[in-house]
Amino acid sequence: MFLAPFGVLFAAMYAVPVGYAIVESLHKMQRSGLGLTPPKRVYAGFENYTKALHDDALWHGVGRVLLFGAIQVPVMLGLALVLALLLDAKSARLKGFFRTAYFLPYAIPGVVATILWAFLYMPRSSPVVSMLDAVGLPSDFLGEDAVLWSIANVVTWTWTGYNMLVIYSALQAIPQELYEAAELDGCGPWRTAWRIKVPLVAPAIALTTVFSVIGTLQLYTEPRVLRPLTSSLDADYTPIMSAYHKAVENNDYGQGAAVSVLLALGTCVLSFAVLKISARLTNGRSSL
C-alpha cells in the first residue's frame, strides 16, 4: 500500500547494497600463480577484515578524521549556537540580513565551496596569502600540517549557517512566558541564555552533533577536490578515500567492501554514543 513504492526503492538502494557489501567483503579474487587464467572469486572468510584492521594507512586516516571531528565539530556548533542565541537576543539588529548571510554557504555545493577556498589558499591567486605576506605572516594553507585545518575551515564555512538555523528554529519555539518569568526572577540576558535557552534547545544541538559527526566520518569531497592541487594529500587521506582507493583504483572490491562495512559499523557506534551522551546531559540538566 502506501509504503510499497518507497519500500521497493529503499530495499534496492539501501538494504541490497548493504547486504551485497557484506557478502562481497567475505570474498576475494584469487589470481593463479602465472596469471594465465582469469582471477577467480573465492570465499575468504574474515581475511579482508583482518587485512583492513592491520592497515596502517587506514588507521592514520581514521585518526586524522577523529582529530578533525574533535576540533571542528565543537568549533562549528559552538559558533552556530552563539550566532543563533545572538540572533534570538533583543540586542541584535538586521537579523534577516545576517541570517541570510550565514545560511548562504549551505546553498553552495561542497565541490564549489572547496574550489572557491582553494583559490583563496593558493599563493598564486590568493589575496589572503598576499595580505598575510604583506604584514610579515607567511602562510602555507595547503602545507602538510595546515591542510587538515584548511579543510576544516571549508566544512565550517559550509555548515555553520545550516546548524545555526536548526538551533534558531528551536529557540523560536520556546514560549515567550518563560522569558517573562525568568525576567521576574531577575535573570539577566546571559543567565537566561545559559540556564533557559541552551537546555531547551539541547535536543536540537544533539541532533546537529550527530549529523556533524556522521559528516566528519564521511569526509571525502573537500580533500578529494584539493588533492590535485597539493602534494599534502595522499590516496588514503580519509577512510572513505581509502575505501574508494582500494575498491576502484586497486580493483580489490572485497577489500573496499570490508573497509566500508567497518566504517559503517564505526559510524553507528559513534552516533549512538553521541546520542546516549547527549541524552544523559539533557536529563541531568533539566532535573536540576
Partner 1 sequence: MTTLTDKPASPARAQVAPPAPKPAKGRTAPMRSQVLTTSFLFLVATYFLMPVWWLLVSSTKSSSDLFGSNGFWFADWNLGANLRQLFDQDGGIFLRWVLNSVLYAVGGGLVATFLAAMAGYGLAKYDFRGRGTIFSVILGAVLIPTPMLALPIYLMLSKVHLVDTIWAVLLPAAVSPFGVFLAKTYAEASVPDELIEAARLDGASEFRIFRTIGLRIMSPALVTIFLFQLVAVWNNFFLPLITLNNQHLWPVTLGLNAWNSDPNQPHANLVVVGALVSVLPLVAAFRSLQRFWRTDLVAGGVKA
**Closer by beta carbon to partner 1, 87 or else 148:** 87
CB closer to partner 1, 31 vs 95: 95
**Closer by beta carbon to partner 1, 148 or else 256:** 256
As a residue count, the chain comes to 288
CB of 73 to partner 1, least distance (A): 15
CB of 55 to partner 1, least distance (A): 16
Nearest residue (CB) to partner 1, 53 versus 112: 112
Among candidates 199, 213, 197, which has minimal Cα distance to 275? 213
Q: How far is the CB of 235 from partner 1 (least distance, A)?
A: 14
DSSP, residue by residue, 12-62: IIIIHHHHHHHHHHTEEEE--TTS-SPPEEEE-TTHHHHHHHT-HHHHHHH
Which CB, 57 or 270, lies closer to partner 1?
270
Beta carbons of 258 and 49 less than 8 angstroms apart: yes
Q: For the CB of residue 34, give the shortest distance to partner 1 in the complex, in Å.
A: 28
For the CB of residue 172, give the shortest distance to partner 1 in the complex, in Å.
7
Quick one: 57 or 275, whose CB is closer to partner 1? 275
Q: What is the 3-state secondary structure (H, E, C) of 223-240?
A: HHHHHHHCCCCCCCCCHH
Q: What's at 129, amino acid-wise?
A: V
Residue located via cell numbers 562481497: 24
Contact 118, 151 (CB under 8 A): no
Tell me which residue of 68, 56, 58 sits closest to 239, measured CA to CA: 58
User: DSSP label at 195?
Assistant: I
Nearer to partner 1, 127 or 138 (CB): 127
In whole angstroms, the minimum distance from the beta carbon of 115 to partner 1 comes to: 5
In whole angstroms, give the CA distance from residue 99 to residue 211: 21
Shortest reach from residue 50's CB to partner 1, in Å: 20
Torsion sign across C-alpha atoms 105, 107, 110, 111: negative
